[in-house]
Amino acid sequence: MIQQVEDPAVEVHDLTVTYHKKPVLWDIDLTLPRGAIIGIIGPNGAGKSTLIKSMMNLIPHSSGYVRIFDSNIDEVRPQVSYVPQKESVDWDFPASVMDVVLMGRYARLGLFKRPRKADREVALDCLKKVGMEAYKSRQIAQLSGGQQQRVFLARALAQEAEIYFMDEPFAGVDAATEKAIIGLLREMSEKGKTVVVIHHDIQSALEYFNWIVLLNMRLVASGPTQETLIPSLLEETYGGKLTLLAEVGNLMHKKEFTGRDKR
């Protein structure tokens, strides 16, 4: 069940991504609708983070291409916001909550310029939206996991982007934070923003997302939630890796087979 859409927010065309010559994503071909809350779901090692990172061109593609709002990513960077996994940074870094949220304004500021008063006000506003304004001067080392996630979200909001890529924003957060985040996502979607979220829990996915991408090294399904979150497709996604696919991948890794790589 792979449904394509007209005038998509994201178009992934025949994308293959390799890691040390070993394909981790095979021939992904999908389109994501604008203004939707999209869940990317699959088992560990399915390549979910790799997919969104290659959508933003953080990881080189072996073949295929990605277009965002029908443009090359580099032309629309200011409209793209990324919320990395919170474990990807060192929270012992000497910075305050406000410092981190202000980073969301850097794209607009450009090089050399310092944040202006207006940027501080936007940042403070975003902290309010995630319920963290009382913590603006707090050291990031003193935050709980849920609070760290909220700070990352506030930083993304401060970018005032059109499309948001979030890597497991619900991982390791408390119930109150989860509720606050999903409330925000819905609000963003109502304003026409597109939100792409990597998610683990199938139960809540049914309720949270209106578009689902099922992934396990290859694309299993992409379509409206009701049509994709069905037992047969979930079975296909979680029913283990395709052994032949994995074996071929391992062989390519071992032989340093470069046939697919762009030169």
Partner 1 sequence: MGQLWEFLSFAEPNIRYVTFGSILLCSSAAVVGSFIFLKKKALVGDAVAHSVLPGVCLGFILAGNKNPILLIAGAFVTGWLSLVTIDYISARSKIKEDTAIGLILSVFFGIGILLLTYIQHSGNAAQSGLDHFLFGKAAAMVSDDVNIFGGMAFVLIIAVALLFKEFTLISFDVDFAKTIGFPVKGLELVLTTLTVFAIVAGIQAIGVVLMAAILITPAAAARFWTNNLRKMIFLAAAFGGFSGLAGAYISYIAPAMPTGPWIVMVISVIAFFSFFFAPQKGIVMKLISRRAMAHQIQEENVLKLLFQLGQEDKNYFQQRSVGDIQARRPFNTKLLLSALERLKKQGFLEKGDDRWQFTQAGQKKGARMVKLHRLWEVYLTRYLRIAPDHVHEDAETIEHIITPDLEAKLEKLLEYPVKDPHESDIPYL
Q: Which residue ranges make up the site for partner 1 (CB under 8 A)?
A: 53, 56, 58, 74, 77-78, 80-82, 84, 88-90, 93-96, 99-100, 103, 106-107, 109, 111-115, 139, 141, 155, 159, 165
CB closer to partner 1, 98 vs 173: 98
Angle between helices 145-158 and 175-190 in degrees, nearest 10:
10
At closest approach, how far in Å is the CB of 236 from partner 1? 31
Cβ proximity to partner 1, 95 vs 242, nearer residue: 95
List the one residue out of 43, 45, 65 whose CA is nearest residue 54: 65
CB of 83 to partner 1, least distance (A): 9
What spatial distance separates the first Cα and last Cα of the chain, rounded to whole Å? 33
Output the CA–CA distances (angstroms, integers) from residue 86 to 103, 168, 258, in the order listed.
15, 9, 34
Q: Which residue has the tokens 């080392």?
A: 141
Give the span between the Cα atoms of 127 and 109, in whole angstroms.
19
Pairing, β 63-68 against β 10-19: antiparallel
Q: How far is the CB of 227 from partner 1 (least distance, A)?
A: 31
Closest separation in Å from C-beta 18 to partner 1: 15
**Which residue number, 151 or 221, has a Cβ lying nearer to partner 1?**
151
**Minimum CB distance to partner 1, residue 150 (Å):** 16
Closest distance of CB 39 from partner 1, Å: 20
Q: Are 23 and 14 in contact (CB under 8 A)?
A: no
Nearer to partner 1, 95 or 202 (CB): 95
C-beta closer to partner 1: residue 99 or 178: 99
Which is closer to partner 1, CB of 38 or CB of 140?
A: 140
CB neighbours of 233 closer than 8 A, spacing ≥ 6? 1, 214, 220, 221
Q: Do 21 and 249 form a contact (C-beta atoms < 8 A)? A: no
Closest by Cα among 231, 50, 78 to 158: 78
